[in-house]
Chains A and B, each alone.
Chain A
């Protein structure tokens, strides 16, 4: 991979990673961890939706599976938190592969695929809300025992760095995908599946690889959520909110770009926080801001913020030459 591809990743990592060195306010660090968790979930969505063109409306299915696997393995089976975290990622990837196999095998595309993923997430939510092993509607607490080997830290800054490390790892993974054969075939599937087949692309295999990767990354976000908040219930884990967050951030930031999901998550939640601070007492005002931003993005920046920036740079470059 060339330095040119890795440079923006390094810059983003340093910018965010430096914040806890200067700011110790809990609200800021909370905001950072939460935004990075959303960014991670969104990066997962971006692999399948942004690069592969398979729009999932149910990435909660993977977020929740990662979260519950991590929580259940720790609290019910006493498995080490780091191991549970890894198994959570694997479990999410496996669920992704299975959902992918069932829906891609039957040739579901576009809105049909979106609806099926939504349905899976909802079924999981209802099951998790009713069954004993997930703690039902009361949810599941992970025992507070602040030790590094338990993936629990007294300092929120450490969590910022861990979340950031995961986000950066996926940024590098995505940059690698962009320049690999798998990535070229995945984008070909997005652009025109029939033509891809004719050129020898095993479209089913490509889509299954993409959904497994995508689900694994989003599951990591879920498992990280559990480690940070030490609590999970069905409406958090499998709720529609996370499916929406996971697709909104890449669309606003720039779907099918390396930095899109991170830029989108920071923009969305940054704006949400600012609106909440300014308009204080009005409940749900940040959601109104989300909606407004989405409308603006769809109308004026269909390729997201990254796409808009590229267009502006091209225009300035062209203007300079003229």
Chain B
């Protein structure tokens, strides 16, 4: 069964069409990727799914219900959590307090929220930094904090907006298993990602967004060989030149 069904979403900002008639489906229990060149409209689509922006047209169904008109905090209550591409820590608070804000969504008592925060922090590898100020974390630490806060809300669907961007290869190697473990515990994941190695590694299904339109979908490997996708990233005629060069090398 599909957990999230985005159908024919269009988002216009004045004359600019950021997302154009985009549809995608996220299956329960899957890790689904959303890739595309810079400026393709990926983050805008995330903003529409999480309720930060109202779509100009189209419908979003979550867990069988139409949620298109629900405000952000109600969607969070329903089970949609998101992280931000540009990390948004509560800079004046400690790591534990940051995560506790997420935990408070389903826990009224402070002690319960803090206990859950400690638990989640350990799961994402922040166990040692609980009492540090969020502002003192490294980039990798802040990415983990984004993940921890979202996870603490107890989501069914986690929207990850480039959690790997800005990390070095060893940090990426550390966090990929964390993401897989989150899925294995029953959280469905939709992720925007540029780090293709991770996309190949994690995602079962990938959608490619270019200039606001979904131009391809399928298994990661199959999508990477798609002519339209190669041209969207590298320019018109690139696919033909690449295959010609590959053919030349073989001949």
| Interface positions of A (Cβ within 8 A of B) | 179-181, 184-185, 187-188, 190-192, 194-203
How many A-B pairs with Cβ below 8 Å?
75
Q: Give the distance in Å from the alpha carbon of A197 to the alpha carbon of B52 in the complex.
A: 9
Interface hit among B24-32, B69-77, B187-195, B222-230 = B69-77
Tell me whether B101 and A201 are in contact (CB under 8 A).
Answer: yes
Does any Cβ of A come within 8 Å of B234's Cβ? no
Tell me whether A199 and B76 are in contact (CB under 8 A).
Answer: yes
Contacts of A203 in B (CB 8 A): 73
Does any Cβ of A come within 8 Å of B217's Cβ? no
Tell me whether B89 and A181 are in contact (CB under 8 A).
Answer: no
Does any Cβ of A come within 8 Å of B100's Cβ? yes
Tell me whether B76 and A200 are in contact (CB under 8 A).
Answer: yes
With known contacts A180-B110, A185-B104, A197–B73 Cβ distance under 8 A:
yes
Tell me whether A198 and B76 are in contact (CB under 8 A).
Answer: yes
A192-B91, A197-B76, A199-B76 given; 13 more Cβ-contact pairs under 8 Å: A181-B104, A181-B110, A181-B113, A184-B110, A185-B101, A185-B104, A188-B90, A191-B92, A192-B90, A195-B149, A197-B52, A201-B101, A203-B73
Q: Give the distance in Å from the alpha carbon of A148 to the alpha carbon of B73 in the complex.
A: 49
Q: Give the distance in Å from the alpha carbon of A26 to the alpha carbon of B88 in the complex.
A: 53
Q: Give the distance in Å from the alpha carbon of A198 to the alpha carbon of B76 in the complex.
A: 7
Of chain A, the residue at the smallest CB distance from B104 is A181
Tell me whether B52 and A191 are in contact (CB under 8 A).
Answer: no
Tell me whether A187 and B93 are in contact (CB under 8 A).
Answer: yes
Tell me whether B104 and A184 are in contact (CB under 8 A).
Answer: yes
- B131-151, CB under 8 A of A: which get 1 and which 0? 000000000000000000110
28 A-B pairs whose Cβ atoms sit less than 8 Å apart in the complex? A181-B104, A181-B108, A181-B113, A184-B97, A184-B100, A184-B110, A187-B92, A187-B93, A188-B90, A188-B93, A192-B88, A192-B91, A194-B52, A194-B84, A195-B149, A196-B101, A198-B72, A198-B76, A198-B81, A198-B82, A198-B88, A199-B81, A199-B101, A199-B149, A200-B77, A200-B102, A201-B73, A201-B105
| B51-105 residues at the A interface, CB under 8 angstroms | 52, 72-73, 76-77, 81-82, 84, 88-93, 97, 100-102, 104-105
Contacts of B100 in A (CB 8 A): 184
Contacts of A184 in B (CB 8 A): 97, 100-101, 104, 110, 113
Sorting the interface of chain B by its residue count into under 10, 10 to 19, 20 to 34 or 35 or more gives 20 to 34
The listed residue with most A CB atoms (<10 A of its CB), out of B72, B77, B150, B153, is B72
With known contacts A198-B82, A201-B101, A202-B73, A191–B110 Cβ distance under 8 A:
no
Q: Give the distance in Å from the alpha carbon of A239 to the alpha carbon of B77 in the complex.
A: 43
Tell me whether A194 and B88 are in contact (CB under 8 A).
Answer: yes
Contacts of A195 in B (CB 8 A): 84, 88-90, 149
Q: Give the distance in Å from the alpha carbon of A304 to the alpha carbon of B169 in the complex.
A: 43
Contacts of B84 in A (CB 8 A): 194-195, 198
Tell me whether B88 and A197 are in contact (CB under 8 A).
Answer: no
Closest 8 CB pairs of A and B: A200-B76, A191-B90, A200-B105, A195-B88, A197-B72, A188-B101, A199-B102, A181-B104
Contacts of B97 in A (CB 8 A): 184, 187
Q: Give the distance in Å from the alpha carbon of A203 to the alpha carbon of B93 in the complex.
A: 18
Of chain B, the residue at the smallest CB distance from A198 is B82
The listed residue with most B CB atoms (<10 A of its CB), out of A179, A180, A192, is A192
Of chain B, the residue at the smallest CB distance from A194 is B88
Of chain B, the residue at the smallest CB distance from A199 is B102
Tell me whether B150 and A198 are in contact (CB under 8 A).
Answer: yes
Tell me whether B101 and A198 are in contact (CB under 8 A).
Answer: no
Tell me whether A199 and B92 are in contact (CB under 8 A).
Answer: no
The listed residue with most B CB atoms (<10 A of its CB), out of A179, A187, A197, is A197
**Min CB–CB distance B160 → chain A (angstroms):** 12
Tell me whether B153 and A200 are in contact (CB under 8 A).
Answer: yes
Q: Give the distance in Å from the alpha carbon of A201 to the alpha carbon of B90 in the complex.
A: 13
Q: Give the distance in Å from the alpha carbon of A197 to the alpha carbon of B101 in the complex.
A: 10
Does any Cβ of A come within 8 Å of B50's Cβ? yes
Contacts of A180 in B (CB 8 A): 110
Q: Give the distance in Å from the alpha carbon of A198 to the alpha carbon of B146 in the complex.
A: 11
Q: Give the distance in Å from the alpha carbon of A196 to the alpha carbon of B93 in the complex.
A: 13
Of chain A, the residue at the smallest CB distance from B77 is A200
Contacts of A199 in B (CB 8 A): 76, 81, 101-102, 105, 149-150, 152-153
